[in-house]
Structure 1
Amino acid sequence: MAANDEQTSTQGEVPERRTQFADLIRRRRSELNESLDVFARKAVDRASDTRVTRGWIYRLETGEPVTPPVYEELRALASACELPVEQLQDAAGQQFHGVDPLKSGSSEATAYVRKLDRVPADQRDRLLRLIDTLVPPEE
């Protein structure tokens, strides 16, 4: 859990605290120019009616310990962020479990993803739409 990030290692060092997921949520809410209340009202998974509370989002954004989100909560947050759930899964895996999504894929996929970051935003959007037509996103 996130609370364990603060523990001291045997050498007396405090390990690096991961914040990829919190940073993504905070940044996206800012980009959407939404208050915490508005954002939390949008954080609903329509399939399961799972909701993410304002308090949980606040604690996440301010660096307080939170319980890692389950998949339905990730879908709810993806809805509020207007982002693909896979993007939130990757960031949550990094923050809460130390998983590097690029290392878990094939070397070919990793190379493509790393190149994608260098593609201009307008071309990246067109490329992602093309990929979605070839391999539709999973629901």
Structure 2
Amino acid sequence: MNLMAEQDRGALTSSPRTQLRDLVRERKDAAGLSYERLAARCVDPESGQQVIKSSWLHRLLTGLPVQPPDLVMLRGLAVGVDVPLRRVQDAAAAEFLGIDVVWSASGEARALVERADKLTPTQREQVMRLLDAFTDPQ
């Protein structure tokens, strides 16, 4: 394993992320729901089935190890906590995979990131230098 991967792994294990946990806790508390009532609301809109168990919610919110949710669980959780699926996906990606999503009110940041994948490494480096030149606080 290379040094960078070891550092990344160490950073994730030394300070665990809680984005999904915080989102679910905030919404659960705001709605005044028990684990059981929240789980009952977590219905996959495509299948109509309850896809989250109260025991999974309890483990998530108390910081115990949980299996990362799959897409079906995320869809149900989004319904249960009444937030857009994208927000639940982003919170889960941050908590379980260490992926931080960059947001822009205009959507420009996401568009730049999507287009950056089409650039060569040299082109990406040039774009980064250009951005640094515009954003350097000198």
Q: TM-score range by the shorter chain?
A: 0.5 to 0.7
Secondary structure at the residue paired with 2:59? helix
What TM-score comes out, normalization by structure 1 length?
0.64
For residues 60-99 of structure 1, the aligned pairs below 5 Å read: 60-99=60-99
1:36 to partner: Cα distance: 1.2
1:46 to partner: Cα distance: 2.9
Secondary structure at the residue paired with 1:91? helix
Residue correspondences, number: 97
Is 1:36 matched with 2:38?
A: no
1:44 to partner: Cα distance: 1.2
- Flag structure 2 segments of 5+ consecutive residues without an equivalent: 1-8, 111-138
Q: Distance in 1 between matches of 2:108 and 2:74?
A: 27
RMSD, aligned α-carbons: 2.1
Aligned to 1:120: none
1:109 to partner: Cα distance: 2.7
Corresponding letter in the other structure for 1:46: P
Corresponding letter in the other structure for 1:28: R
For residues 1-139 of structure 1, the aligned pairs below 5 Å read: 9=10, 15-48=14-47, 49-102=49-102, 108-109=108-109
What TM-score comes out, normalization by structure 2 length?
0.64
Aligned to 1:119: none
Deviation digits for residues 89-124 of structure 1, max 9, x if unmatched? 000000000001118xxx8236xxxxxxxxxxxxxx
Deviation digits for residues 1-49 of structure 1, max 9, x if unmatched? xxxxxxx94xxxx611111101100111001111111111111103122
* Percent identity (aligned): 36
Deviation digits for residues 64-91 of structure 1, max 9, x if unmatched? 0001100110010111101101000000
Runs of 4+ in 1 over 4 A off after TM superposition: none
1:50 to partner: Cα distance: 5.0
